[in-house]
A and B are shown apart, each in its own frame.
Chain A
Amino acid sequence: MTTEVQEFKTQATKVVGDLRHRKLIQTALGKYEVARDKRKGAFQSWSEARQVAAETKWDAINHLDEHLVSFADKLEARGTKVHWATTAAQARDIILGIIQAKNAKCIIKSKAMTAEEIHLNAAMEKAGFEVVESDLGEYIVQLRQEPPYHIVFPAMHLTRHDISDLFEKHLGSAKTDSPEELTMIARRALREKYITADVGITGANFAIAETGMVSITENEGNARLTSALPKTMISLLGIEKVLPRMADLALFLPMLATAGAGQPLTCYNTLYGGPRQPGESDGPEEYHVVLLDNRRTELLADPEQRDALHCIRCGACLNVCPIFKNVGGHTYGTTYSGPIGSVITPHLRGLQNWKHLSYSSSLCGACTEACPVKINLHHHLLQNRRNSVQKEADPQEKLIFKLFAWAMNSPGLYGAGKSVARWFGPLHRLVMGTFLDPAKAWTKTRDLPPIAETTFKEYWKNRQ
């Protein structure tokens, strides 16, 4: 077993038994479901909208080269510097290079999962910069020195009391159990940072090929401020973020808001097409866009799972996933958790070490149903299982299945096995769940149904 599987198992066992965690997640996601269904119902046809969104993203990804060229050229024509990074290390170096050249001290960041993916904060802190997350949820998990719990709701695993204690410890604020007061504490602490930061770093939700614009979706206004006040602005985005046309947003923005948070539209949806232009009263003097590959082109080369690059990171598949709800976001040990994380992590970080994620699924298909761009998520989990076995099967498992197939194919052997099993059944009951139980891994948390007294074949014979 790799350490990744062991970690997953230990963490999962711990979290599954944590009733407080379960209650928190259930309340949060319960509220989400009600709101989402109401918003979905407002669409004239949610299912057709999904299909059109899927087709639009298909176009974007299957002509990715043309769209990226247009996106980059248009941005550069209006004074933005576009950088291309094949690896995470290259992207970190590019960004460190920019902030070093600016003699920056303080960096303000708005939410960017790509930055988590390349461990940007750690790199910047190591290089001596002060980095502040400005999204409230991200700010909270940053103070806790934790990765985000969920790609859309980073601090959903914490109660207001946890957050109050955290702020008391780090900011010296008085204890409170009002979410409003807690938000205001963070607001005050961060205001000063926006004003003094030298560089603002953002992620992106969409890259508009037609006009050369980066589209950022947020509720708090922190990305708006991050891109308004510092003298230098950097956006880091994966190459798959492309949408062909600006007007595609008319469908994608409400779908992202609906699927992601049950909102008709997120509070701020903002397009950035360059640094401050002549005649404008403010805005950064320099705008850098960093396009990140980091093995996305490998996923692109797999036509079967290419549609995983359609993902708009709405988080809907996490919110409906029975596994995610039970084991929680941190258990995955990945940047992207939940069904989409289980599908893409093996591509981004290696199949053999991360194939266990494909098995941590009930294959119920709730994720595929929830996905606003119709990514075939649960089939991709099956394909990952198949690929991992084809590449490198576990010898023990292989042997067991060989024996199983052999027994199933020979009636005599099958009959003998049946009788033996019926004998062992009652004996097994005696040790079930104890350390003597050979099937403990199964029976610890599940029932083992008793073997029937008579088989169907015998029953049928007697009847006649």
Chain B
Amino acid sequence: MTERDKILGRIREALTISAPPPGEHGPETHHLAGHPIQFAPRPAATNAREWLPKVGETFEDQVAQFRACSDDLKTEFIVAESLADLPKILGDLRDRERWKQAAAHRSDLTDAAVQALGLPTLTVDGGYDVRALERCDVGITTCDALVAQTGTLVVTSRSSGGRALSVLPPHHLVIARRDQLVADLPAAFELIQQRYGADYPSMISLVTGPSRTGDIERILVLGAHGPKKLTVVMI
């Protein structure tokens, strides 16, 4: 018998006695032990939206909420009218942050950004030198979705240039399209499941603000190990 079979065997043995329904208070629940419980749990997956913080209905409301969350999180959120605005916006960013070297993955949006920046750029597709990536000032990626409810962006190892590009350089720059904004977390998971079916990327990450820590006297410090700055440009 393998260890797997042994553990599963013990679990099945233990579960022959059913437990009282969850959230019951009071010590009187143990009389239920030994009887099958007629209890149908409500899954969080289908109910989450009813209890989570409310999100506005219209696109404008949702942009406003994403902005409010971004302000709280110290994410820089810029809305661009069109792709034509990128050179100006990114040029300003580059000069303000004194970027010398960028890193990016290939895609329509990131290609446009790389062109707009006009910096030497490391392309990560197909593999790269980790030390070279570590020396880059900014990692440029796309994302799968922006979540208005929490100011979150969804990146994956397939759509955002692997695992390290969005977290190793000190500044993470995300270029998104306006139709990528979704209302809430349930919508974000729905989108992930629809987009990938059973063929998921090996990493899916919900990123909510720049890296942070409160480990020293619970005082907030940005840029613990991941990016110190996060900029989202929505076109």
Residues of A within 8 A of B (CB): 24, 27-28, 31-32, 42-46, 48-59, 61-65, 68-69, 72, 78, 83-86, 90, 134-137, 140, 153-156, 158-160, 163, 179-180, 182-184, 186-187, 190-191, 194-195, 211, 213, 219-222, 224-225, 227-229, 239, 244-254, 261, 264-277, 279-283, 287, 291, 293, 297-298, 300-301, 303-304, 306-307, 310, 368, 373-374, 376, 379, 382-383
Known contacts A137-B215, A374-B23; 19 additional CB pairs below 8 A are A52-B42, A56-B41, A65-B11, A78-B202, A84-B7, A153-B215, A183-B216, A213-B200, A220-B224, A225-B164, A247-B48, A251-B51, A268-B226, A274-B202, A277-B202, A281-B162, A287-B202, A300-B11, A373-B22
B107 within 8 A of A: no
Which partner residue on chain A sits nearest B206 by CB separation?
A269
- Is A32 a contact partner of B218 (Cβ separation < 8 A)? yes
In-complex Cβ contact of A220 among B6, B18, B188, B212 (8 A): B212
A310–B22 Cα distance when bound, in Å, is 10
In-complex Cβ contact of B206 among A187, A244, A270 (8 A): A270
Chain B interface, >50% SS class: loop
- Is B186 a contact partner of A247 (Cβ separation < 8 A)? yes
- Is A220 a contact partner of B19 (Cβ separation < 8 A)? no
- A-B contact number at CB 8 A: 348
Shortest CB-to-CB span from A87 to chain B, Å, is 10
Which partner residue on chain B sits nearest A266 by CB separation?
B208
Name B1-45 residues within 8 Å CB distance of A. Answer: 2-4, 6-8, 10-15, 17-27, 29-30, 32-33, 39, 41-45
Shortest CB-to-CB span from B62 to chain A, Å, is 15
Shortest CB-to-CB span from A156 to chain B, Å, is 7
Chain A interface, >50% SS class: helix
- Is B50 a contact partner of A44 (Cβ separation < 8 A)? yes
A83: B residues at CB distance < 8 A? 3
A214–B198 Cα distance when bound, in Å, is 15
Shortest CB-to-CB span from B72 to chain A, Å, is 8
- Is A248 a contact partner of B43 (Cβ separation < 8 A)? yes
- Is B218 a contact partner of A156 (Cβ separation < 8 A)? yes
24 contacts between A and B (CB under 8 A): A24-B217, A46-B51, A51-B23, A68-B11, A84-B2, A155-B216, A191-B134, A219-B212, A221-B224, A247-B45, A247-B190, A247-B193, A250-B49, A250-B52, A264-B69, A265-B152, A267-B208, A268-B167, A280-B162, A281-B162, A282-B124, A297-B14, A310-B22, A376-B24
A64: B residues at CB distance < 8 A? 11, 15
- Is B189 a contact partner of A250 (Cβ separation < 8 A)? yes
Question: With A27-B217, A195-B134, A282-B124 known to touch, is A59 a contact of B41 (CB < 8 Å)?
Answer: yes
A371–B204 Cα distance when bound, in Å, is 28
- Is A179 a contact partner of B217 (Cβ separation < 8 A)? yes
A20–B112 Cα distance when bound, in Å, is 56
B168 within 8 A of A: yes
B12: A residues at CB distance < 8 A? 65
Stretch at the interface among B76-84, B87-95, B125-133, B173-181: B125-133
B101 within 8 A of A: no
A274–B200 Cα distance when bound, in Å, is 9
Question: With A56-B44, A58-B22, A277-B157 known to touch, is A179 a contact of B212 (CB < 8 Å)?
Answer: no
Shortest CB-to-CB span from B26 to chain A, Å, is 7
In-complex Cβ contact of B30 among A301, A304, A373 (8 A): A304
Question: With A55-B42, A84-B7, A282-B124 known to touch, is A270 a contact of B204 (CB < 8 Å)?
Answer: yes
Shortest CB-to-CB span from A86 to chain B, Å, is 6
A307–B186 Cα distance when bound, in Å, is 26
Shortest CB-to-CB span from B155 to chain A, Å, is 9
- Is B127 a contact partner of A44 (Cβ separation < 8 A)? no
